[in-house]
Amino acid sequence: MTQGGKKKKRAVNRSIMLAKKIIIKDGGTPQGIGSPSVYHAVIVIFLEFFAWGLLTAPTLVVLHETFPKHTFLMNGLIQGVKGLLSFLSAPLIGALSDVWGRKSFLLLTVFFTCAPIPLMKISPWWYFAVISVSGVFAVTFSVVFAYVADITQEHERSMAYGLVSATFAASLVTSPAIGAYLGRVYGDSLVVVLATAIALLDICFILVAVPESLPEKMRPASWGAPISWEQADPFASLKKVGQDSVVLLICITVFLSYLPEAGQYSSFFLYLRQIMGFSSESVAAFIAVLGILSIIAQTIVLSLLMRSIGNKNTILLGLGFQILQLAWYGFGSEPWMMWAAGAVAAMSSITFPAVSALVSRTADADQQGVVQGMITGIRGLCNGLGPALYGFIFYIFHVELNELPMPESQSGGSVVTQYHLQQNSIIPGPPFLFGACSVLLALLVALFIPEHTNLNVRSSNWKKHCGSHGHPHSPQAPGEAKEPLLQDTNV
């Protein structure tokens, strides 16, 4: 080895040791308060999404003021770009966190995900631009799930993931209502300042209180170890979809059912505000009620259905509720119809946990990570395609507004818009009807999924793939693939 090569190697080793000291104190003691626990992850998630939830009402107003002519199209493009970037970057960030530790990447993802918040009042154009680009780092859930997996046993992990997901839902139950109230009384500027302060609190909490979860599993040889393309390839799990017919049916079902769901989450609150005439307080109340009902549906109701009618029938029932919900959204022209459809939407949230349970029961023990990784990869792809598709359908059907909703003080408590009066006709929400057709196809495909079978996905490198690529994304033991109600996106 040449002298220059030796110097280069020594420089790399010094960089590795320096990075290691940043994350781990001398003596191997994790930095932070106490030992790593699920509660550290819960607080990180709650603070991040509580900050974004406060901005629900102000974001809807700023979005229309910034893009008055093509509001839904631009919203779909912004969320679509963010979702695609998250899908592409999540495997790489997960693989790097396996080497460099979770704490650094928790700090990185939370910082860049919350970076757009103060820009809302400084420059709306930069606000939406940074939101779309922040998708590269908007994968906090992936790192949090890996953090939880590091510190829990397999039999504890399902409950731990459920606690993280419930915390996410709880933050969205309370924060939109608080943000709407503060915005009405004190103005949106105070809401932005408060959301920024909570985001900074989250960052400080990670820096000071969150201990590293990975030190005991680290080995000196792993520091600086090369990351293979397979570990960072977002399409790696999708390439194995066609290797088993049952896996293919499950993945098609997930794609056709989650594509409209992802698009709906990106635009529905804007739809309620601008087309259906909901006030900011009504939108916040709708989010709260839907969140509470979804938590009940995914815990109590799902458990009862799984025991009484079986796994496959529960999936079919959830898809049936989703078709009814989307059709109701599409044809609904009055606010009470949206509230009724929201209750049905909560019941439709049982579909994905039921699919995950079906996979965990039918897949072999050494295939859990591969199959769950495929399903999670499909959902990640939908998070990018769904919002853009919904925005485009709104655009081609000319579903736009010519003016902002009138203040409640001028309209007697009800919000009336020029477009709402014109659009109150046959099909107020075309994308939702498209979504209902897509879910109907998913239901037809799901009919052919056998109730009991053995999934066999051939993969020579599946262990390496699960350990570094699939692990941050999804749980790898039976019953652990409970995803949050909304993905890593802002409301």
pLDDT band, very low/low/confident/very high, at 321 (cuts 50, 70, 90): very high
Is the pLDDT at 424 greater than 80, yes or no?
A: no
Length of the chain: 491
Tell me what percent of the residues of the chain surpass a pLDDT of 70.
Answer: 70
Alpha-carbon torsion 262, 303, 170, 368, what sign? negative
- Could you tell me if 172 and 252 lie in one domain? no
Confidence of residue 70 (pLDDT cuts 50, 70, 90): confident
Say yes or no: 242 and 366 in one domain: yes
Query: What band does 15 get if pLDDT is binned at 50, 70 and 90?
Result: low
pLDDT digits (tens, 9 = 90+) for 73-85: 888 888 888 888 8
Q: Is the pLDDT of residue 25 over 50?
A: no
**pLDDT in the model for residue 287:** 83
**5-14, 360-369, 422-431 — which is least confidently predicted?**
5-14
- The pLDDT-based confidence of 487 (bands split at 50, 70, 90) is very low
Would you say residue 322 lies in a domain? Answer: yes
Q: To the nearest whole percent, how much of the chain has pLDDT over 90? A: 14
Give pLDDT, residue 231.
62
pLDDT average, residue stretch 272-291: 82
Q: Tell me which of 68 and 243 has the higher pLDDT.
A: 68
Residue 395 phi/psi, 5-degree rounding, is -70, -45
**pLDDT score of 23:** 42
Identify the residue whose tokens are 């590269």.
Answer: 136
Residue 468: predicted pLDDT: 40
Q: Are 159 and 153 in contact (CB under 8 A)?
A: no
pLDDT at 362: 67
Which range is least confidently modeled, 165-169, 303-307, 434-438?
A: 165-169
The pLDDT, as a whole number, for residue 204 is 94
Is residue 308 situated within a structural domain?
A: yes
Determine contact, residues 7/1, Cβ cutoff 8 Å.
no
**CB of 295 within 8 A of CB of 169?**
yes
- Domain membership of residue 252 as a residue range: 237-400+429-450
- At residue 309, does pLDDT exceed 70? yes
Q: In whole angstroms, give the CA distance from residue 355 to residue 388.
A: 25
Give the residue-averaged pLDDT of 227-232.
Answer: 62
- In angstroms, the CA 480 to CA 484 distance is 12
Rounded to two decimals, the pTM is 0.69
Confidence band, pLDDT 50/70/90 cuts, at residue 443: very high
Task: Please check whether residues 195 and 103 belong to one and the same domain.
Answer: yes
Q: Examine the pLDDT at 142 and tell me if it is beyond 90.
A: no
Are 383 and 314 in a shared domain?
yes
**Residues 191-219 as b or e (16 or more Cβ within 10 Å = b):** bbebbbebbbebbebbeeebbbbbbeebe
Q: Which of 44-48, 80-84, 421-425, 437-441 has the lowest mean pLDDT?
A: 421-425
Backbone φ and ψ for 482, nearest 5 degrees, come out as: -80, 115
pLDDT exceeds 70 at position 437: yes
Give the total number of structural domains in the chain: 2
**Is the domain of 249 the same as that of 174?**
no
Kindly state whether residue 417 falls inside one of the protein's structural domains.
Answer: no
Report yes or no on 82 lying in a domain.
Answer: yes
Q: Is residue 84 part of a domain?
A: yes
Instruction: Choose between 33 and 323: higher pLDDT.
Output: 323
Pair 354, 266 in one domain: yes
Same structural domain, 190 and 252: no
pLDDT of residue 163 exceeding 50: yes
Cα–Cα distance measured from residue 99 to residue 221, given in angstroms and rounded to the nearest whole number:
10
The residue-averaged pLDDT of 379-401 equals 79
Q: Would residue 188 count as lying in a domain?
A: yes
The overall average pLDDT reported for the chain is 75
pLDDT at 453 over 50: yes
Look at residue 420 in the predicted model and tell me its pLDDT: 44
265 pLDDT tier (thresholds 50, 70, 90)? confident
356 vs 410, which has greater pLDDT?
356
Q: Is the pLDDT of residue 56 over 90?
A: no
pLDDT at 253: 92
The CA-based angle 437-438-440, given to 5 degrees, is 65
User: Higher confidence at residue 452 or residue 370?
Assistant: 452
Same domain for 203 and 247? no
Q: Residues 438, 257: contact at Cβ < 8 Å?
A: yes
Q: Return the pLDDT at 472.
A: 40
Q: How far apart are CA 263 and CA 431, in angstroms?
A: 9
Among 229-238, 397-406, 457-466, the minimum mean pLDDT is found in 457-466
- Confidence (pLDDT) at 206: 92
Question: Is residue 368 over pLDDT 90?
Answer: no
Whether residue 334 is found in the same domain as residue 385: yes
Q: Is the pLDDT reported for residue 20 higher than 80? A: no
Q: What is the pLDDT of residue 149?
A: 77
Of the listed ranges 113-122, 395-404, 413-422, the least confidently predicted one is: 413-422
Say yes or no: 169 and 58 in one domain. yes
pLDDT for 345 equals 86
**CATH number of the domain that residue 136 is part of:** 1.20.1250.20
- For residue 25, the cross-strand partners are none
**Would you say residue 439 lies in a domain?**
yes
The answer to whether position 248 is within a domain reads yes
Range of weakest confidence among 19-33, 232-246, 289-303:
19-33
Q: Do residues 210 and 241 both lie within one domain? A: no
Residue 146: pLDDT band (50, 70, 90) is confident
Confirm if 430 and 271 have CB atoms less than 8 A apart: no
| CA–CA gap between residue 185 and residue 191 (Å, rounded) | 10
Inter-CA distances, 183 with 51, 122, 281, Å: 14, 17, 10
In whole angstroms, give the CA distance from residue 226 to residue 260.
38
Question: Between 48 and 247, where is the model more confident?
Answer: 48
Q: Residue 1 pLDDT more than 60?
A: no
- The 3 state secondary structure assigned to the chain is CCHHHHHHHHHHHHHHHHHHHHHECCCCCECCCCCCCHHHHHHHHHHHHHHHHHCHHHHHHHHHHHCCCCHHHHHHHHHHHHHHHHHHHHHHHHHHHHHHCHHHHHHHHHHHHHCCCCHHHHCHHHHHHHHHHHHHCCCHHHHHHHHHHHHCCHHHHHHHHHHHHHHHHHHHHHHHHHHHHHHHHHCHHHHHHHHHHHHHHHHHHHHHCCCCCCHHHCCHHHCCCCCCHHHHCCCCCHHHHHHCHHHHHHHHHHHHHHHHHHHHHHHHHHHHHHCCCCCHHHHHHHHHHHHHHHHHHHHHHHHHHHHHCCHHHHHHHHHHHHHHHHHHHHHCCCHHHHHHHHHHHHHHCCHHHHHHHHHHHHECHHHHHHHHHHHHHHHHHHHHHHHHHHHHHHHHCCCCCCCCCCCHHHHCCCCCCHHHHHHCCCCCCHHHHHHHHHHHHHHHHHCCCCCCCCECCCCCCHHHHHHHHHHHHCCCCCCCCCCCCCCCCCC
Question: HSE of 139 in the Cβ direction (CA atoms, 13 Å)?
Answer: 30
Indicate whether 362 and 444 sit together in one domain: yes
In contact, 437 and 293? CB cutoff 8 Å:
no
The pLDDT assigned to 414 comes to 41
